Chain A
Amino acid sequence: MTKIVEPDKQTNIFRRPSSEYGIWSWITTVDHKKIGIMYGYAAFFFLLIGGLEALFLRIQLAQPDNNFLSAAEYNAMFTMHGTTMVFLAIMPISAAFFNYLLPLQIGARDVAFPRLNALSFWIWTFGGIFLYSTFIFGTAGAPEGGYLAEEVGWLGNAPNGGWFGYQPNAGFKYSPGTAMDYWAIGLQILGISSLVSAFNFIVTILNMRTKGMRFMRMPVFTWMTFAVAFLLAFSLPIIAIALFYVTFDRQFGTTFFLTEGGGDPVLWQHLFWLFGHPEVYILILPAFGIVSEILPTFSRKPLFGYPAIVFAGFGIAFIGFGVWAHHMFASAISPVAQAGFGISTMVIAVPTGVKIFNWLGTIWGGKLNLKTPMLFALGFIGMFVIGGLSGVTHSIVPADTQQTDTYYIVAHFHYVLFGGAMFGIFGGLYYWFPKVWGRMYNETLGQIHFWTMLIGFNLTFGPMHWLGLQGQIRRTWVYAEETNLGFWNLIVSIGAFIIALSILIFMANWMYSKRKGEIAPFDPWDARTIEWTIPSPTPVWNFSKAPEVKSLDDFWHAKYGEDEEGRAVRRESADDLLLQLEEEGLNPEEEIILPNPSYFPFVLSSGLPFIGYAVIYKSIPLALIGVVLLLVGAFGWATEPLEEEFNTAEEEE
C-alpha cells in the first residue's frame, strides 16, 4: 500500500498500539506466543482454584457425616470444581499449547487470523471472570417451597446444579437464584471463545504450512490440534443451543426441559452428552499429541506407526460423536439403545488401544532418556491404560448400571483426565519449557514433582474405584458411617494433599527456573521437529526465513542418517548445521513484517459479560453498555489500518 488519503486526518485512536513492554503490550498483543503464555498462566490460575475446590471436597469427605461444608457449599464446590477443570483449566491449557506451538510446528509466523486469536483468549478470560463473579453476585438456595436451617454463605452462592447441569434440577424451579444463570451464560461465553479458536486453527493448519509440510509430514501434535479443532467446531454448537434452551427456560418462561410444559428433561441429557463426550476427546487428544512428540524424542526412535497414530486419533474423534448415550445407560433409554451404545463404546476402545500399543512400540528398543518430560509421558501411558480399562468395564451396560453415578466413575475419568490429560500436559510443560523461556527447568525438582504426583494421584484416585464398587455415590455431601467407607475416604483425602504438594513443587521449579535456570540451547533434547531449529526463547518472528521441510521429523533427519543395520548415525554435517541455524535464527536477513497489535479484540470481548449480566438482571442499561462495547470493538476492528500504512504515510509527509 503506498498511498493513503490524508493520513494526517486519521485520528490517533485508530492508530495501532505499539507497546512492546508492560501491560499494554500484553493486552493488545496478537502474537501467538504471548497469547499462548497468557492462556497458560490464566488457565493455571484456574487450575489452582479448581484444585482448592477439590481440597474442600476432600476435607468434607475425609470422614463420615462430616460438617466442614454445608450441603449448599458442597454442591457448589463440586459443580465449580468440574466446570473449572473442564472449561477453565484443561481446555485452555491445551489452547496454550496450540497457540504457542502450532505455528512453530508448521513453520508459520503466526496463526491465520492473529486478531481472532487474541479475541478468543479475551472472550475466554472475560467468560471465566463472568462465571466466577457468581461468588460475589450470585445467589442460590433451596428449591421453591423448601427450607434451609441456615443462610447460604458466599461459598454456596455459586452454581450448584453440577457441571452437567441436569434438568429440571438446574432449572429455575429447583435451582432458584441466579447462580445457575451464571453457569449457563458463562459456559455460553466460553463456548464462543472455543469456536473462534477452532476455526482459526483449522484455517491455520490448512493454509499456513511451510514449504514441503505436507499433511503426512505434520507432527502428531499438530494433527491432534487439527482433530480437536474439528471436534470443537462440531460439538460446541450443540451445547450452545442446549444452553440457550436452559437460559430461555430459566429467564423467559419457555419449557424445553419442563415436563409440565411438554418438555423433556432427558432431551437435555442427550444434548449435553452429544457435546460432552466429544468434549472428553477435546480434553485428551492434545495430551495424545504431546506424548507422541515426547516419546520419540526421548527414545531416539521415530514414532512407531505414525499413520496409524494419526488415523487412530481421527477415528477416536469421529466415533466420539457416536457414544454419547453411554453416559445415560441408567436413564430412560431403551434396551436397543443400550446395546447399540454399549457396542459403539467398545469400538472406540480399538483405536485407543492402537495408540497405546504404538507408543509402546515407540519406546521398545529405544534408548530411553528418562528426563522429566519422558517420565510424565510414560506415567501418562500407565495411568491412561488404567482409565481406558475401567472405561471398557463401563461399556458392559449391565455392569455400568451398577457403576454409574458412583466413585468408580469418578476414579475412571480422573485416570483419563488427570492421569491422562494432565500428565501429558505436565510432560509438555517441561518439554517445551526451554523453548518458551530460553532456560532449563531444574531436573531434580522435576523428578520429585513427577514422583510425588504419581504417588499422590494413585493414592487419591485408586481407592475411589473400590469406594464406588462398595456403593459410594457421586456428588454425595455426606455418607453414613454404617457404609464403612470412612477409611478409604481418609486415604483419598490424604492423597489429594500430596497432589497439592506436588503442584507446589512444580510451581517452585517453574518460577525459579524461569529466572535462574541454566541457559538453554536451542535444541536441548536433540529433538525431531522444526520448532527446535529456532532460538530459545523463540524470537518474535519465529523463523528467520520460512523453513523447507523434506520429510516427517525433518530436523532429526537433517542431523541423523541410518547405517546398514538401521541404527541412527549422526551426520558429519550436523554440527555445522546447528551452528548455522543458531547464527541464522537471531539474524533474519530480510525485514520481517509481523501482524500489528490491536486494542479491539479486548474491547469487543469486554462487552460480552455485560450482555450476560443484562440477561440475568433484565437490565437495559447493562445491555446497552455491552452492545456498545461489542459494536465499537467490531467497528474498530474492521476499520483499523495496518501500522505500515501509517509509516508509509509519515514518510511521505
Chain B
Amino acid sequence: MSKKSLFRYRNFSIFSLLFLSACIENAPMDSLSPAGPYARTIDDLFWLTFWIAVGVFFIVQGALVFAVFYFRDMPGKPEPKQIHGNNILELTWTIIPVLILAAIAVPTVRTVFDLAREPENALKVEVIGHQWWFEYKYPDYGITTANVLVIPEDTPVRLEMWSNDVLHNYWVPKLNGKRYLVPGQKTYLNLHADSAEEFWAQCGEYCGLSHSKMRGRVISLSKKDFENWVNNEKLDAQKELPEGSLAAEGQQVYLNAGCTQCHVINGVWDVQGDRIAPNLTHFANRNVLAGASLDNNKENLTKWLANPPEVKPGTFMPNLELSEKEIEALIAYLGTLK
C-alpha cells in the first residue's frame, strides 16, 4: 500500500470515528434525543435514512478508495482497456437509487401528513413572534405569558402561530421540528412531551440583530401542577404592597420610569389591549428573562435593567438610565410577581 493511499484511507476513518463517537452530554438543544411522540417519529425517520446513507457512503467511498489504491499508476502497468460505458451497469445504478428513494419516500409522505394533522383534545396555545422573544396566549384560560411555554405532560398541544414583525421560526428540538411564524398568516405546530421536563426552544430563522438570543423554554408539568399553574396565572398581581417596603418603592419605579409604555402587569396598570413587550404579571415564576437569553436571577436582572441593548442588541427596551437604587427596588418588586 502506498503512503498516499494509506494516508487517505486513515484520514477518512479517523474522521468518521470522531464524528460518530462524539457524544455530547447534556445538550439541551439535541435534536437526536426526542422526548415526545412527534419528535420520536421524526427521529425514527432520520435514523432510517441515516443508516441507508451510511451504507451508500461506505459503498461509494470504499469503491473510490479501492480504485485509487488498486488502479494507481505503477511502473510497468499496461495501458488500460478503453471502456466507453456499459448500458446494463448504468441502468442498474440508475434503478437501484430510484428503488431506495421510493422506499424512503413512502414513510416520508405518510409522516408529513401525520405531523400536520390536528390532534384530538389538544391544549391550544397561541405563539406570537416578536423581535426577539416569544409570546404565549392560552385562549381557553385567558392567560398571556412570555419566554416560557408551560404545558401539561403527556398531552398533545396545538400551537397556532404568527409573527408580529419579521419571520421567526419556532423550534423545540426535543419535541418536534421547526415551523415558521409569518406576519399576516397562521401556521401550526404540534407538541407533545412524554413527561415533566424542561426543554429549550430557539428561533431558527434569522430575524435581525438579536436572532441568536431569541430563545425560549418549554416546561411540561404533571397534570396537577399544570392545573395549579393555570389557576395562579389567571390571578392578577397584587396592587397594594406593604408601605415603605423596597418592593413598594420598586412598584413606583415601574409605574413612573416608563415601563408601562410597553409592559403590562394585570391588576396594577389597567390598559386596554396588548403592549409590545412581555406581560410581567407572573414574571417571578419564569426561570428566564430577556428572550430566555438570561436566567432569571438578581445578577442578570441588574445587568439587564442597567442597559438592555448591551444584552440584546437592537432591543426595543431602552436604557432608562435607572440608578442602582431604583434597579434594586425594581428587582424587589419584580420578585413579588408570582
The residues of A with any CB-CB pair to B shorter than 8 Å are 70-72, 75, 142-143, 145-149, 160, 162, 166, 168-169, 174-175, 259, 264-266, 299-302, 304-308, 330-332, 335, 338-339, 342-343, 346-347, 349-350, 353-354, 356-358, 360-361, 363-370, 378, 381-382, 385-386, 389-390, 392-393, 395-406, 451, 454-455, 458, 462-463, 465-466, 469-480, 482-485, 487-488, 562, 565-569
Which among B141-149, B227-235, B263-271, B315-323 touches the partner chain?
A: B315-323
A174 to B89, CA, bound (A): 55
Nearest A residue to B89, CB-CB:
A361
A330 to B293, CA, bound (A): 23
B109 to A343, Cβ gap below 8 A? yes
A381 to B257, CA, bound (A): 63
A357 to B93, Cβ gap below 8 A? yes
A259 to B314, Cβ gap below 8 A? no
What's the least CB distance linking A544 to chain B, in Å?
29
What's the least CB distance linking B147 to chain A, in Å?
14
Chain A residues in 8 Å Cβ range of B71: 299, 363-368
Nearest A residue to B186, CB-CB:
A332
Q: Mark B7-41, 1 if CB is under 8 A from A, else 0.
A: 10001100100110010111111111000000101
A396 to B204, Cβ gap below 8 A? no
B79 to A72, Cβ gap below 8 A? no
Given A369-B73, A389-B57: A477 and B109 within 8 A (CB)?
no
B109 to A405, Cβ gap below 8 A? no
A302 to B83, CA, bound (A): 7
Instruction: Contacts A354-B90, A401-B178 known; list 6 others, CB within 8 Å.
Output: A75-B209, A265-B166, A392-B49, A395-B108, A399-B42, A484-B27
B19 to A343, Cβ gap below 8 A? no
Nearest B residue to A74, CB-CB:
B212
A370 to B73, Cβ gap below 8 A? yes
Nearest B residue to A565, CB-CB:
B81
Number of cross-chain contacts by CB at 8 Å: 339
Chain B residues in 8 Å Cβ range of A370: 4, 68, 72-73
What's the least CB distance linking B228 to chain A, in Å?
27
Residue of A142, A162, A343, A381 with most partner-chain B CB within 10 A: A142
Given A368-B71, A399-B42, A469-B30: A405 and B213 within 8 A (CB)?
no
The contact of B79 among A395, A401, A567, by CB within 8 Å, is A567
B167 interface contact, C-beta 8 A? yes
B27 to A166, Cβ gap below 8 A? no
Nearest B residue to A346, CB-CB:
B101
A478 to B90, Cβ gap below 8 A? no
B19 to A462, Cβ gap below 8 A? yes
B256 interface contact, C-beta 8 A? no
A385 to B57, Cβ gap below 8 A? yes
Chain B residues in 8 Å Cβ range of A385: 56-57, 60-61, 64
Closest 4 CB pairs of A and B: A471-B29, A401-B177, A259-B184, A405-B204
A398 to B42, Cβ gap below 8 A? yes
A386 to B54, CA, bound (A): 10
Which among B278-286, B302-310, B325-333 touches the partner chain?
A: B302-310
B224 interface contact, C-beta 8 A? no
Which among B112-120, B151-159, B239-247 touches the partner chain?
A: B112-120
B93 to A332, Cβ gap below 8 A? no
B121 interface contact, C-beta 8 A? no
A71 to B313, Cβ gap below 8 A? yes
B108 to A166, Cβ gap below 8 A? no
B1 interface contact, C-beta 8 A? no
A393 to B314, Cβ gap below 8 A? no
